Structure 1
Amino acid sequence: MRKRMIALMAAVSAFASSEAGAETLYVSNERGNSVSVIDAASMKPVATWPVGGRPRGIAISRDGKYIFVCASNDHAVQMIDRATGKVIANLPSGEDPEQFFPSRDGKLLFVANEDNAALTAIDIASRTVAFQVDVGKEPEGVAESPDGKWLVVTSEDENEVNWIDLSTKAMVEGMPTDQRPRHVEFTQDGGQLWIAAEIGGTVQIADVVTRKIVETIRFAPPGVKDYLVLPCGIRFTPDGKTAVVALGRANVIALVDVATRKVTAYVPVGKRVWHLSISGDGTRAYTANGLSDDVSVVDLAAAKVIATVPAGQGPWGTAVAP
């Protein structure tokens, strides 16, 4: 019986590894003006694509055909053909785009414009601006609620999250947060909004119905000074059970149990981990390490790095797809 159990566990582990290994990882390199393409099976870079100035936010279109990347210095979101790696369009994003969110229906891109305090919605098919909403100063993180009712945008300068009613395309509330909120993620059920406050050193959880903060999570990685703990990227595993939080210059990611809201593990990764992505099967995290110019591949079950992959200069964000 024991031998059979060991064989079964090995088979499950091998299957999970093969699922994650079938993917491709895309990394925006902020100082390198490029996107690194990494094969998840070999955990090696296979291509480098030149893009516009200071690429930061990066995501894959809902249909999987394109990569979108914020070319912040060029004031555009660039649309890249995944098959060729060629930029096929510069979308009109507004000034200094940093992060964006592809709408859940795949028709729009919601882009935060850091310099002109606005949220720009781009119609992907026509490559034109669909609408704009004024928001707080230095907007960065963007997310759409699973039910399509809310669009939220962080205002770093004003220490708040702006709630936009998508039915009216109007901002209805600026909810106070800890200092410099950088990133936001809705839980799968849409009931909670998780907010990474960089200078506050916290992740705050808001109840979506009341639009109030209900809990604040603090972090204490062993041997790391408090001022280096700078939460930024947050991603949930596909089963919704674990939140993976990038802690910036702490050079660590935190694994948080979503149900209990407790940190279950800290994993040391590369230098200045800013954003991350999760493999489709939920077994791995891929972290963009901006000062060590690499990507850490983390086995989430074991809570340890299993590979370090070179990227371009200043990795900022990652996106993963089959």
Structure 2
Amino acid sequence: MRSHGVVVAVLAVVAGTGFDVSPKWPTRVQVFVANSGSDNVTVYDTRLGEVVATIGVGDYPTGVGAHPSGHRVYVANESSNTVSVIDTRTRSVVATVPVGANPFGVAATPTHAYVTNFGSHDVTVFDTATNAPVKTIPVGRFPHSAVAAPDGSRVYVTNNGSDSVTVIDPTAQAPVQTIPVGVFPSGIAISFDGKRLYVANTGDDTVTVIDTGGNRPTATTKVGNAPLGVSVTPGGRVHVANTGSDTVSILGPTGKLLDTVKVQRMPEGSAAAPDDSFVYITNTGSDTVSILDAESGKPAGSFGAGRQPEGVAVTS
């Protein structure tokens, strides 16, 4: 296996989607899913309850990251060593950025995007205004995923081959600290207040909780088999996609295991809506995306994606 975001009583059901549409959302939310097997991105509109676009990108798209403004989405194309920049309003590719070898994860601050290059053991930084690469930052071995602090003050990168997280200072565009975690750290997420990081360790079936104040691990929680994607809701619930057990582990803010939910085959990506409505889980083995209620964790439906969906990002 390769390891390289109060319901009303009456709901309207949209035919063919398996998804219950409720008026939980204060804004329109779009879900962007990278389909590594079909070289495209599926766009799902939550207000309409349907797929509204399929966007062709580079070869073997994996990770997806959203700009804080919601106006851009960045897709890492692992086999073509590029990042596709998507305008979320026109749902079209507006730029293609060359990066390092085998890019996988993308995180963005208001001014820069950070791309983990799994094959070259570094991070490409490019300007989000011009889409021009400005720096290459060496990190640990086989960097997998990245996440930016909500205030843009730090970027965190999981190093799959070094069992660590690299902390990058965006002002200096340089690493400032390395945090030891579990075995084969893959997915990473940060709480909406920026105080905690959650790292999915694929090799030992755990999640490491890190206090960002001192950048020190505070808890290690056993989850399902081969955890990969992880996301945090605004309410503080952590959703971990366990690709080896076809489940999602739900944790509380401190890392306590609250529940385990069955989903479809080989869940890999995890993304939470910014309005605390739903969580989206990509199922690589069934070409679908499962939708979980962010508060209860209960399944709320699913929709079809392209072949082998992996990364997922939500914008509003």
TM-score by length of 2: 0.87
d(CA) in 1 for partners of 2:82 and 2:143?
Answer: 16
**Partner residue, 2:204:** 200
**Structure 1: gaps (5+ residues):** 1-7, 221-228
**Partner residue, 1:77:** 83
**Partner residue, 2:63:** 57
**Partner residue, 1:27:** 33
d(CA) in 2 for partners of 1:11 and 1:304?
Answer: 15
- Name the CA shift for 1:255/1:94 in 2 (closer, same or farther; >3 Å): same
Residue by residue over 1:34-81, the C-alpha shift from the partner in whole angstroms, topping out at 9 and shown as x without a partner, is 111223234332322211100111133333323211111111111123
**Partner residue, 2:16:** none
Residue by residue over 1:179-228, the C-alpha shift from the partner in whole angstroms, topping out at 9 and shown as x without a partner, is 110022222333322211111100011233433322101125xxxxxxxx
**Partner residue, 1:307:** 301
**Pairwise CA RMSD:** 2.3
Which one-letter code corresponds to 2:234 in the other structure? P
d(CA) in 1 for partners of 2:190 and 2:72?
Answer: 24
Contact 2:65 2:105 in 1 (8 A): no
Say which SS state the counterpart of residue 227 (structure 2) adopts: coil
**Partner residue, 1:134:** 138
Q: Once the 2 structures are TM-superposed, how far is the Cα of residue 256 of structure 1 from its aligned partner? A: 1.0
Say which SS state the counterpart of residue 232 (structure 1) adopts: strand
**Partner residue, 1:151:** 155
**Structure 2: gaps (5+ residues):** 1-5, 13-20
- Name the CA shift for 1:199/1:123 in 2 (closer, same or farther; >3 Å): same
- Name the CA shift for 1:287/1:133 in 2 (closer, same or farther; >3 Å): same
Determine which of 210, 220, 228 is the counterpart of 1:232: 228
Which one-letter code corresponds to 2:308 in the other structure? G
**Are 1:99 and 2:105 an aligned pair?**
yes
1:264-275 to 2 correspondences below 5 Å:
264-275=258-269
Higher RCO (CA < 8 A, seq sep 6+): 2
**Are 1:162 and 2:166 an aligned pair?**
yes
Say which SS state the counterpart of residue 23 (structure 2) adopts: helix
1:279-318 to 2 correspondences below 5 Å:
279-318=273-312
**Partner residue, 1:173:** 177
**Partner residue, 2:244:** 249
**Partner residue, 2:50:** 44
Length, aligned pairs only: 302
d(CA) in 1 for partners of 2:276 and 2:156?
Answer: 25
Residue by residue over 1:224-254, the C-alpha shift from the partner in whole angstroms, topping out at 9 and shown as x without a partner, is xxxxx11122211113x21111111211111
Identity of aligned residues (%): 26
Determine which of 1, 8, 11 is the counterpart of 1:10: 8
Contact 1:271 1:291 in 2 (8 A): yes
User: Is 184-193 or 264-273 further displaced after alignment?
Assistant: 184-193
Say which SS state the counterpart of residue 228 (structure 2) adopts: coil
d(CA) in 1 for partners of 2:66 and 2:7?
Answer: 33
**Partner residue, 1:186:** 190
More helix by share: 1
Say which SS state the counterpart of residue 114 (structure 2) adopts: strand
**Partner residue, 1:319:** 313
- Name the CA shift for 1:86/1:207 in 2 (closer, same or farther; >3 Å): closer
TM-score by length of 1: 0.86
Q: Once the 2 structures are TM-superposed, how far is the Cα of residue 11 of structure 1 from its aligned partner? A: 6.8
d(CA) in 2 for partners of 1:99 and 1:10?
Answer: 37
